[in-house]
Chains A and B, each alone.
Chain A
């Protein structure tokens, strides 16, 4: 073989090796892609084809509620081995936006669990089913009427818990008799706001709560005679009641100095848990946590405003189950069975005893446990003082219109009178934008 031929042979071999190498790489890539694809298909099929009906519940409940729910789901699955039920926690906003996106795309969980203000937007978007014809009257008659959330004449949510409401929670180490009126509240809070180590700084406040959030302002608004909307869902924020409510909260901080200078939910919660606040305004979701933290707590209705003779009433919202409108007929019967099971007397009593939430089953409400429990009795009184949370989508626009001006009053950059005018104007504008 001469040199040129050798070189040709060598070059050809090199090119072939190079090409073979790349061909192998390409085949490897193709085979790898096919493998991944087939794995995905197989895993997808295996999820669906294990012979069991799969039901998913999305909720926004805290860990201790999840534990109780899981126990009940496990028992349901033992009774019905052909069904697999999964619960999935989603943060409140993520649950709402995620469910909308999923349901619009024809997907999503079979059951969505949460407070009643979800009903309005979900109904308008036609992504939850009317439940009127799905549950018989015998079943719904067992429930407190407040557990049934109607919108535009149809039932859209059936709830197992009543409330989601705010109350006055107090530490029994500091307070034996909780305040019943606004004046008593100021007196008790003043006596318990202390500089314990003499460094010129307050170490213990009389009361703390997430006072920058409008939801926590509602009791003071209603106590002074205000409310957020009329029967036509139009905002009613520019009232004397709202002005006086704003002045009262501002005075607690600036005049009486019985609440911290700044407090969001976490700060207020930490102050109360650490014994740096004698009272807190918080919801029924928090009580079990305080007891778990070793606090000897009492729950009392929020005080009466003496100048109006009205109780500070919170928004009351049942928490319960709605059904995705994309559900198949086959799954629907199991979902109904599951909801009826979770709403049963036995399961509601279990949740009430563990979580101190107010049940909706009439027998459980009238049970010895609920009637003899101080926390639940006072919780019931607070519910009676409250107003049902509106379920219409306009509520979101109202919250958002209230927040900036409310915070501006607390920051000292707006007068309460100016704030309520701006709140009203903003609420009207936002509702118009939402509905255009």
Chain B
């Protein structure tokens, strides 16, 4: 056995376990989902399904559904952008505060601020749902104390959607904070000292040192955050109690869940999930390219 062949066998053995796991948990389900999306699998054809081409994809875009696909898509985009905006702004702001030398008991603050992330989503969602109750919820009671009128959080479509967003913002900012804090701590202090010597202001240092140097860490985190938020079934499903009121708080992923598991439309659900996949794939590629995240910064 020559050297090259031995080396190839060696590499093969190294890669094989990971490859088997990847094939089992990623490739196979993905390919199976593609096949199902091209089939008529539903309640009446669960075992005897057959390939019907792109019929399900056409249906997603053309079938008059209640609620409408395009309305849900716009809501999903709003849901994702608003959530990500607050996750990043609150997360980076708190990281900047925690990164200050003068602050004492950083560990305690950090632990408290990370807590929302550590609590199971189910508990968070149901607790917030209780807090949004019109008469007994703490949110309206606080509003009442400061002289503001009570809001019908869960009875009106817009307010219910806002309630779900507030819950998810609370749940999501700690992740961005932890990431931003890690990035901030890796910035060499010499840069700030040099800037101080040049007489740079706080804002100037933020714009020219801090933000460019945390960007390579934040962009992948934002990309991940976008994918997670876009696909966050738990919060929207539990806070709005499966799309209440009147199916007006759905995002695409809750709509897929409903189509597949409430109405047994597996082919249609698979096609819709493929569309979500392509939306997120295109977003990720474009976002990573535009932000030039892969380029070196130092």
Interface residues of A (CB under 8 A from B): 22-23, 26, 29-30, 33, 93, 97, 100, 104, 121, 124-126, 201-202, 212, 260-262, 264, 266-267, 393, 396-397, 400, 403-405, 407-408, 410-411, 413, 426, 429-430, 433-436
Contact = CB atoms under 8 A, between A and B. Distances in A.
B10 interface: yes
Nearest to A36: B17
Interface of B: 10, 13-14, 17, 40, 42-44, 46-47, 66, 126, 129-130, 133-136, 152, 154-156, 241, 244-248, 258, 261-265
Nearest to A276: B136
Contact of A397 (B136, B246, B263): B263
A396 B263 contact: yes
Contacts of B264: 100, 121, 393, 434
Contacts of A93: 261
A262 B241 CA distance: 13
Given A266-B130, A400-B258, 11 more contacts: A23-B10, A30-B17, A260-B135, A262-B152, A264-B129, A267-B136, A407-B245, A413-B246, A433-B265, A434-B264, A436-B44
B246 A262 contact: no
B17 A29 contact: yes
Given A267-B133, A434-B263, A125 B10 contact: no
A267 B130 contact: yes
A16 B33 CA distance: 47
Contacts of B46: 100, 104, 124-126
Contacts of A408: 245-246
Nearest to B153: A262
Contacts of B136: 267
Residue from B247, B261, B264 whose CB has the most chain A CB atoms within 10 Å = B264
Contact of B247 (A125, A404, A435): A404
A272 to B, nearest CB: 13
Contact of A262 (B42, B134, B247, B263): B134
B263 A26 contact: no
B180 to A, nearest CB: 35
A400 B263 contact: yes
Nearest to B44: A435
Given A26-B13, A262-B155, A411-B155, A434 B42 contact: yes
User: Interface on chain B toward A: helix, strand, loop, or mixed SS?
Assistant: loop
Contacts of B154: 262, 264
Nearest to A202: B135
A206 B19 CA distance: 63
Nearest to B9: A26
Nearest to A27: B13
B135 A262 contact: yes
Contacts of A201: 135
Nearest to A399: B262
Nearest to B11: A26
A201 B150 CA distance: 13
A104 B47 CA distance: 7
Given A124-B44, A434-B42, A26 B247 contact: no
B135 A125 contact: no
6 contacts: A124-B46, A201-B135, A202-B135, A262-B152, A405-B246, A411-B155
Contacts of A410: 155, 245
A125 B156 contact: no
Contact of A433 (B129, B244, B245, B263): B263
Contacts of A413: 246
Contacts of B263: 396-397, 400, 430, 433-434
Contacts of B126: 266
A9 to B, nearest CB: 20
B148 to A, nearest CB: 16
A400 B258 CA distance: 10
A411 B43 contact: no
Contacts of B130: 266-267
Contacts of B66: 404, 426, 429
A411 B133 contact: no
A26 B10 contact: yes
Contacts of B258: 400
Nearest to A25: B14
Contact of A434 (B133, B155, B261, B265): B265
A93 B237 CA distance: 13
A407 B246 contact: yes
A426 B246 CA distance: 12
A266 B46 CA distance: 36
B143 to A, nearest CB: 14
B247 A403 contact: yes
Given A261-B134, A262-B134, A400-B262, A125 B155 contact: no
Contacts of B10: 22-23, 26
Given A29-B17, A30-B13, A404 B42 contact: no
Given A124-B44, A267-B136, A396-B262, A33 B246 contact: no
B244 A407 contact: yes
Nearest to B136: A267
A261 B135 contact: yes
Closest 4 CB pairs of A and B: A404-B246, A407-B245, A262-B134, A125-B46
A126 to B, nearest CB: 7
A199 B113 CA distance: 36
A426 B42 CA distance: 19
Nearest to A34: B17
A23 B17 CA distance: 16
Contact of A125 (B13, B47, B244): B47
A173 B263 CA distance: 44
B122 to A, nearest CB: 11
Given A267-B130, A426-B66, A434-B263, A411 B156 contact: yes
A349 B98 CA distance: 63
Contacts of A262: 133-135, 152, 154-155
Given A26-B10, A97-B261, A267-B130, A125 B43 contact: yes
Nearest to A401: B66
A421 to B, nearest CB: 13
A397 B43 CA distance: 12
A406 B262 CA distance: 19
